[in-house]
Amino acid sequence: MGSSRGHCPLEIAREVAMTRPPPQCATRRFPRRRPEPGVVDFELLFRQSPNPYMVVDRDLRYVAVNDAYASILSTTVDALVGRRVFDAFPGEVDNEGRAQAEAVRRSMLRAFETGRPDMLALVPFTIERETASGRAVEVRYWSATHTPLFDRDGWVYAVLQHTTDVTEVERNRAELEAVRQERGATPEQLWQGVVSRARAVQDANSALEAQRRHMQALFAQAPGFMAVLSGEDYRFEIANPAYEALVGKRDFIGSRLVDVLPEIAEQGYISLLDQVRETGRRFVGRGMEVHIVGAGGELHPRFVDFVYQPIVGDDGRVYAIFVQGSDVTDREAALAALRDADQRKDRFLATLAHELRNPLAPIGTAATLLRIAHDQPSRVQEASAIIERQVRHVTHLVNDLLDVSRVTRGLAILEVREMDLARSLREALEQIAPLVASKHHALHVSLPDAPVMLHGDPARMTQVFANLLSNAAKYTPDGGRIDVRCFVDDERACIDIEDNGIGLDAALIPHVFDLFVQAEPTPDRNDGGLGIGLALARSLVHLQGGSIEAHSAGLGKGSRFRVCLPVHVNAPGATAPA
């Protein structure tokens, strides 16, 4: 058997017995560590044993106690360590004037004096226990073994007591003895009855153990995180793998919550535990944010649904809190995305209503002009031009909306054929030339002399470039600069459209191609459109096997959009910009 590493209760007992420090020094709990292969963790074995164990020194004071022993007296380990055994466990005096504690005391002293284990087969002992209705007095029967513990010099410095509760067996024996006397049963029959009842008790205990193992398996395999925190300092009594995965730590059973997760001390969760412990009422949290330190030391936000359920003892007081919940970070992220999409939809509808209402005023004015000046050809021509211009604007809006609808539903039809990408770009430049001129922008275009041939829809690519060029013109203050470059690199033809306009916020770039997303309007630019142009451009480029990217050094530092499509005829002399 391997030796124990760290601090086991027997080592603590030896230190306490030899040096006699203040009692509280012996009660401290040590952090759990993963044992090395072949090493038995006696501290864990002692503490978690379902049978009562304790260690006493030569003054018959407790120097180590496990939880099973403390539960007999409805108290805690810390409350016992340092006290004299028979102050905490006084027992009573029987009808013949013999103290129940005396047999136990003599057995302990014999183990000290002889250096040999001393056993007590049957000891009646009266104990007091806290129940929901108050303190109750009960006589229990115990079988006790007292084992001497030696130091390196062979001196007995402490005694380990292991007790077994044999109350049910003794009660069965007494009942059967009464039956024998009443019915005249033989000793053999009496013994068979005792064995039969003992076997029944053993079977019941086996069933309870199987049920315990089953519950432990369910606890370990539960998809939600679970833990039990005991005491006023919230020490981990148990935690399942899902809890370990949430906090990113293991081997913390027996440690305090604030030592395992110090980062939550200022996040309000300790106060919630205090509230549950003090009031006895559970707390239910939904979608609550908690920041947990990751492996690299940085804080990661998580969202959790959870319950703090108080666990109440026989005395009616909360002695532990059961923690159960689920990591709902993905759900909260999805809800946030839905809320953002809903807000963008609302902004889109408001913008659409504005864009559709704007042409109505000039159209109405033109209609009035036609009615009152129908005999004036120049006025009629002017009114007709106004109506025609506004109808083109509305038609453009409706066509964009129809395009987006068809693309998002997978109904868009492309007329793919061999095409010259540079020609589509030139046609787009012609379309936006009036807008560029009206804003006095300097437009610089660099195109290869030879055609840039590829398979695509020329009309759709002209639409994509016109959209990007229009955005560059609208989002650049008057007198700005727009650079257009075409180059072929790695069997791709790429178009860069760059401006020195208002730029893009870093938070906006990942979403700039999403539907209904727009940059914030500025005092000199409030004609931002519907926020569907870039989403449509990305869809059309992707449908043709290409890619589209947005780049910006930040607000006020301009933007660059790059569109790339696969080519099958490279343009001579056209290379990627340095």
- Closest by CA to 473, choosing from 505, 438, 445, is 438
Within a 10 A sphere around the Cβ of 280, how many other Cβ atoms? 11
Class of domain 222-327: alpha beta
21 or 146, greater pLDDT: 146
pLDDT in tens, 30-75: 444 555 655 567 777 888 888 899 999 999 999 999 988 888 777 8
Predicted confidence (pLDDT) per residue in 228-264, tens digit = 999 999 999 889 999 999 999 888 888 999 999 999 8
pTM of the full structure: 0.47
Domain ranges in the chain with CATH number 1.10.287.130: 333-408
- The crossing angle, in degrees rounded to 10, of helices 458-474 and 533-543 is 150
What pLDDT sits at residue 76?
A: 85
> Which of the four pLDDT bands, split at 50, 70 and 90, describes residue 403?
confident
Beta strand 481-489 with 442-446 is parallel
Residues 417-566, CATH architecture: 2-Layer Sandwich (3.30)
Per-residue tokens: 477: 């203050």
Q: Which two tokens stand for residue 470?
A: 């229009």
pLDDT of residue 45: 80
Q: How confident is the model at residue 375 (pLDDT cuts 50, 70, 90)?
A: confident
Q: What phi and psi, each to the nearest 5 degrees, are found at residue 163?
A: -120, 150
What are the start and end residues of each CATH 3.30.450.20 domain in the chain?
9-165, 222-327
Distance CA 491, CA 360 (A): 49
For the stretch 521-555, pLDDT in tens is 554 444 556 677 888 889 899 999 999 999 999 99
- Which class is domain 333-408? mainly alpha
Exposed (0-12), middle (13-18) or buried (19+): which is 358, by Cβ within 10 Å? middle
Q: What is the pLDDT of residues 384-401, one digit of tens each?
A: 888 888 888 788 778 877
Euclidean distance between CA atoms 359 and 575, whole angstroms? 45
Report pLDDT for 30: 43
Third-level CATH fold of 9-165: Beta-Lactamase (3.30.450)
Mean pLDDT of 398-417: 79
Alpha-carbon distance of 177 to 185, in angstroms, equals: 9
